[in-house]
Amino acid sequence: MRDYPVLPFLLAAALVPVVGRRVGGWLVLGAPVVALAQVAAAGTGRSLTVEYYGYQLTPMRLDELSLPFVVVFVVAAFLAGLFGWTTLGTRERVTALITAGAAVGVVLAGDLLTLFVMWELKAVATTVLITASGAAGAASAGRYLMAHLVGGSLLLGGVLWHLAAVGSLDFGDLTGSPGAALVLLAVLLAAAAPPLHAWLPDAYPSASVTGTVVLAAFTTKAAVYALVRGFSGLDVLVPVGVVMALYGVVYAVLEDDLRRLLSYHIVSQVGFMVAAVGVAGPAAANGATAHAVAHILYKGLLLMGAGAVIMATGRSRLSELGGLGRRMPLVFTCTVIGALSISGLPLFSGFVSKELAVDAVRGTDLGWAVQALKVASVGTFLSVGLKLVWFSFGGPDRGLRPTRLPASVLVALVVGAALNVLIGLRPGLLYDLLPHAVAFQPFVAKQVADTLQLLGLTALVFVWLRDRVRPSPGLSLDVDWVVRGLPLLVRSRLAAARPAGGWSAPVQAVRDRTRRLADTAAAAVIDRVPAATPSTTALGGVLLAALGVVLVRSVLP
C-alpha cells in the first residue's frame, strides 16, 4: 500500500492545514513528484488487491491504459500547484490535493467500488474548491454538487445492477452489462456531454483562477478514461462526441468571458475524445488517450494564461480587454502557444493528438463525422486561436495597466508552453506513453496540407468578418435555464393566474369531485367481491413479504 500514488496527495492534504504557508506550498509541489516517482518505480503491471466483506477490490491497477492518465494528472497537479504557489489559500490547497489524488485513484481503480468512492471524493473536493472563490462560487458550487450527486447516484445504481447481474466488481468492458446504461449516463454527465454539460461552463469560471486550472485537468478527463476503459467501441459515442465538439465551439464563438469561453472548449475538445472512443480498436483508444493527455496540457496552459490576465488586470471579459500583447509579452507568447496547440497547428501538441483521434474516425465509414470534426476544428481556431488571442492581446490598446505577476505564475506558464512545444516537435514522447503501439505518422503532406487549409481559410474569414466576431457583454442561456430560470417563470405565471379567492376554492372542488368518484368506484367493487376474512388478509401479507424477499434477492448476489 505504500507505493499507492494516491497516498502522497491525501497525506499532503492532511498536513497542509497544520504546517506553515511556505511548507504547505512545498507539500503541494512535492506530492505529485512523489506520486510520479512511485509510478516510475512500480511500472505497468503493478496492482494492489484487498479483501472487503468478501469482495476482492483492486484499488491500484497500473496498466498501459491507466499509465498515461496517471502521468498527465500528476504533471497537471504539479503545474497547478506551481501556478497557484502565491495565490492558493489553505482550503484550495487541501481540496486541490484531494481532487488530484482522487482523480489518480479513479484511473488506477481496478474495481467499480473503488471507482465509485474515488469518483465521489473528487466530486466533493471539487465542490469545496469552487466555493473558495466566494459567494458567486458558492451558488455555482451548489448547482455543480447537485449535478454530480445525480451522476454519483446513477453510477452507484449502475454498479449495483452490474454486480447483481454479473457477480463481479471488476472494472473492464461494461458494454454488455445490464447496468451499463446507468454507468454510461453518469460518465457522460462527468464528461459534460450535452444536455448534461451545463454544470461545466457554470462552475469552472466561478472558481478562483488556479481553481479553474485544477478543475479543468481532472473531472472530464477522468470520465474520458472511464469511457475508454468501459465503453470502447460503443457506436452511439461517435454522434455524441460530434455533437459535443460542435456544441462547444458554437457557444465559444458567442462567449465574452475568457474562462467561460475556454470552458465551452472543454466540452468541444472532450467531444473529439468521446467520438474516438466510439470507434472500436486500439487506434481509437490511442486517439482518445493522446488527445486527453495533450488537452490537459494545452488547456491548462490556456487557463493559466487567462488566469494571468485576470490576475494582472482584474478583468475577465474580452470586451473589456485589448492591447495586452505589448504589456504582457511572456503571457501573450505562452497563451499563443496554447492557442496554436488547441487549434492543432503542426509542431504543437494538439496537432499530433487531434490527428491521431480524427484518424481513428477516418479509418471507418463515418465520413460525415470526420467532416463535422473538421468544422469543430475550424470553430476552435476561430474562437481560441483568433478571437481570444486577438481581442485580449491584440486590437486597440484599452489603456489597461497590468500589475506585476508572481514569478511562480510565469514559470508555470513557461513550463506548460515548453511541454506543448516539446510534444509537438517530438510526438514520440506522447505516443510511447499510449496503451497500444502507434503506427500513425502525423507529419505527412496530406495531414499538414489539410490542417493548413483549415486554419488558413479560417484566418481569412476572421480577417473578413472580424467585426461580427467582436465579443459583446452578455450571458448565453444554456440548458441549465430549465432548472435556473423556468421554475421562476412558472411560479410567477401561477401567481399571476391566481383566482381572487386563492387556490383553495377550485382545489377543494376538484378534491370533492375526485373523492365522490373514488367512493362510487369502491362501492361498485365491494358489491362484487366477498368480504375479506382475517385468513385472506394474512395470506395477502405473506405473499407481499415473499414478493419483497424475491425482489431483494434478485438485486443482491
Partner 1 sequence: MRSRGVIVLIGVLVLAVATDVAVSSSPPGLTAVTALLGAVALILFSKGVLKALIRRPVDYYERLWATHGPGGAPRA
Cα angle vertex 502, ends 501, 505, to 5°?
75
Q: Could you identify the residue written with the cell 500547484?
A: 81
Q: Which of 449, 302, 326 is nearest to 397 (CA)?
A: 326
Residue 400: name the closest of 330, 481, 343, 316 by CA.
316
Residue with Cβ nearer partner 1 (144 or 251): 251
Nearest-approach distance from CB 440 to partner 1, in angstroms: 17
Minimum CB separation from partner 1 for residue 454, in Å? Answer: 5
Nearer to partner 1 (CB atom), residue 489 or residue 542: 489
Cβ closest to partner 1, residue 250 vs residue 280: 250
CB of 375 to partner 1, least distance (A): 4
**Contact by Cβ (8 Å): 125, 141:** no
Q: Minimal distance in Å, beta carbon 392 to partner 1?
A: 18
Closest approach of partner 1 to the CB of residue 492, in Å? 4
Considering the complex, state which of residue 104 and residue 454 has its C-beta at the smaller distance from partner 1: 454
Query: What minimum distance in Å lies between the beta carbon of 168 and partner 1?
Result: 45
Q: Which three cell numbers stand for residue 273?
A: 475524445
Question: How many other CB atoms sit within 10 Å of the CB of residue 527?
Answer: 7
CA-based end-to-end distance of the chain? 29
Nearer to partner 1, 453 or 514 (CB): 453
**CB nearer to partner 1: pick between 494 and 518:** 494
The alpha-carbon radius of gyration of the chain (Å, integer) is 27
Shortest distance, CB of residue 26 to partner 1, whole angstroms? 40
Spell out the alpha helix ranges (H) of 167-281: 180-190, 199-203, 209-231, 237-254, 258-277
In angstroms, give the least distance from the CB of 445 to partner 1. 5
Nearest to 122 by CA among 148, 146, 142, 140: 148
Q: Which is nearer to partner 1, 3 or 320 (CB)?
A: 320
Say if residue 282 is exposed, middle or buried (CB neighbours under 10 Å; 0-12, 13-18, 19+). middle
Nearer to partner 1, 11 or 448 (CB): 448
Q: For residues 468 and 528, which CB has a smaller minimum distance to partner 1 in the complex?
A: 468
**Residue number, 492 or 537, with CB nearest to partner 1:** 492
H-helix or E-strand spanning residue 113: helix 112-131
**Residues near partner 1, by CB under 8 A:** 249-251, 253-254, 371, 374-375, 378-379, 382, 445-446, 448-450, 452-463, 465, 468-469, 473-478, 484-485, 488-489, 491-492, 495-496
| Shortest Å, Cβ 376 to partner 1 | 9
SS3 133: coil
The three grid cell numbers given for residue 452, joined into one nine-digit string: 493548413
DSSP state of 86: T
Q: Give dist(CA 81, CA 102) in Å, integer.
A: 16
Task: Specify which residues 317 forms β-bridges with.
Answer: 257
Alpha-carbon span 209 to 217, nearest angstrom:
13
Cross-strand pairs, 55: 52
Q: How far is the CB of 484 from partner 1 (least distance, A)?
A: 6
Give the contacts of 214 (CB within 8 A, at least 6 positions apart).
77, 80, 96, 99, 100, 126, 129, 207
